[in-house]
Amino acid sequence: MSNNSVKAAGGGKTELQRNLSPWHVWAIAFGCIIGWGSFINPGKKFLPNSGVAGTAIAMVLGALVMMVIAESYAYMVPKYPKAGGEFTFTKACFGNRMAYICGWFLVAAYLTNVPMNSTAIGLIVDGLDGEADILKFGFHYVVAGFDIYMGEMMLAMGILLLFGVLNILGVEKAGFLQTILAVLLAASVLTLTIAALVSSKTSIHNMLPWWGFNKSQAVSDYAAGLYKGVDAYAHKGTSGIVSAILATFAIAPWAFVGFDTIPQTAEEYKFSHRKVRFIMIVAIVFGACVYIANNTLTAAALENWPDLIVESSSTPWLLLAAAERLLGLPGKILVGVAVSCAVLSGIMGFYLASSRLMYSMSRDGFLPEWFGEIDPRFGTPRNAMLFCMLISLSGPILGREALGWFVDMSAIGASIGYMFTCMAAVVTINRDGDGRKGLKTLAAAGAAFSIIFMILQLVPIPGLSGVHFGKESYIMLVVWSVLGLVFYLRQQKSIG
């Protein structure tokens, strides 16, 4: 198969079908940005690490940086309106080897998010059903301290198979369902936010400490019987405030990974590629608003949220407790709808992005041609989707904690994609001389920010707890890199 040909299974359609509207594309991006993490991390990371003020500032700064990076995407997509996005840009500007590196780590960024989202399904049901434990039946085992039950596994696998099949049946169907999920997600969070603003049960005083606190020291002292309140552990002073902001700002590539999935479906737009910039910015703004709203209303509604974090033996789902305090059962239902839509739209969106990326890499000879086959009836990359489904089914089997070691690479993969896109924009502007005023400066700044994000993720920095990789994630990064080298050597002839 030549580098520019596309194979249809059994003949028939040989191209991806142009069926995606601007609404569909926005929903794909927004649904990928907002996942389970935006609902559980107020209690797990955001409030203890950065507090209400630090998280809000970090998310605004992160969104602004993503908008800077998005300018390069908006410039490059009309230049190369093909599936593959960052991989395609890198290949055009820096050649095959750099394109392979970019594509290989983007596969990790997108594909690992599908099984990770699936493992949240059981946690959602477990949080909503109280003591009923309706999914905790059948055989049971533990991986990395995470309990896995047959009931949870069956439900997660069923949803993975269903959404995978929907992707194969046509991108228009997938886009329509994605739009419904994204709108329900946004509406649910907006309703909760309005309820918090008008409720007498919320208080600005509840948001203290504004910049978070030293969680590890507080938990240690609590275990030793020395904990007497959060004030002694609050982040204070210039260094404490800066550290609080950086702790959340550093994970911006993880928080906003998803807006960059927009170029992956560029061949399937039925609208002008010039609209990409506006769609990306709207998706990023919506994402930042959801992160800030979830975190702020959680603290505002729970007077003792620091104590709940310190005294809990596991990560407390504080947002669910806050919603229940504000609205009772309807509050729990709203959170259930919102987080379910977030998880399901994440599965759908990253399925789309992963399969299109692998299809594009196959078309250019970077992956076996089997991945590039188009379904003759539905015009979708069927085999790439089947592979994504097969890999994703491992998620419910391995469990959430083990997958977390792989998902840490999502932020690295996204940062690599951002960096190459911004650098490709600089090269293309220099070559064609058609970038709008200041775009080259923005592209260079975007590349610099991407490198800074990678340093923050890979290099342990004192005072920034929970930002850099854990030991297991470093090992997974090395393993993934070695696998990539082996695969490259095997495909080198066809890549060349």
Amino acid making up residue 414: A
136 lies in some domain: yes
Beta-bridge partners for 148: 141
Specify whether the CB–CB gap between 336 and 62 falls below 8 A.
Answer: no
Phi, psi of 147 (to 5 degrees): -75, 130
Domain residue limits at 349 = 22-495
Look at the chain and report how many structural domains it folds into: 1
474 lies in some domain: yes
pLDDT at 411: 80
pLDDT at 418: 95
4 lies in some domain: no
Burial (Cβ within 10 Å: 0-12, 13-18, ≥19) of residue 462:
exposed
Mean pLDDT of 406-419: 84
1 lies in some domain: no
Q: What is the CATH number of the domain that holds 93?
A: 1.20.1740.10
Phi, psi of 250 (to 5 degrees): -65, -25
What CA–CA distance (Å, rounded) separates 126 from 148?
12
Distance from chain centroid for Cα 148? 23
DSSP 262-323: GGGGGGGBSS-GGGHHHHHHHHHHHHHHHHHHHHHHHHHH-TTHHHHHHH-SS---HHHHHH
5 lies in some domain: no
Residue 464 banded pLDDT, cuts 50, 70, 90: low
pLDDT at 2: 38
17 lies in some domain: no
Specify whether the CB–CB gap between 209 and 366 falls below 8 A.
Answer: no
pLDDT in tens, 118-162: 988 988 998 888 788 899 999 889 887 788 999 999 999 999 999
- pTM, 2 dp: 0.91
DSSP 208-235: -STT-B-HHHHHHHHHTT----GGGGB-
- On the question of pLDDT at 5 being above 70, the answer is no
6 lies in some domain: no
Residue 463 banded pLDDT, cuts 50, 70, 90: low
What CA–CA distance (Å, rounded) separates 330 from 215?
31
H-assigned helices in 433-470? 439-458
What CA–CA distance (Å, rounded) separates 289 from 58?
12
- On the question of pLDDT at 48 being above 50, the answer is yes
7 lies in some domain: no
What CA–CA distance (Å, rounded) separates 92 from 65?
25
pLDDT in tens, 213-269: 999 999 999 999 999 999 999 999 998 999 899 889 988 888 898 898 899 988 999
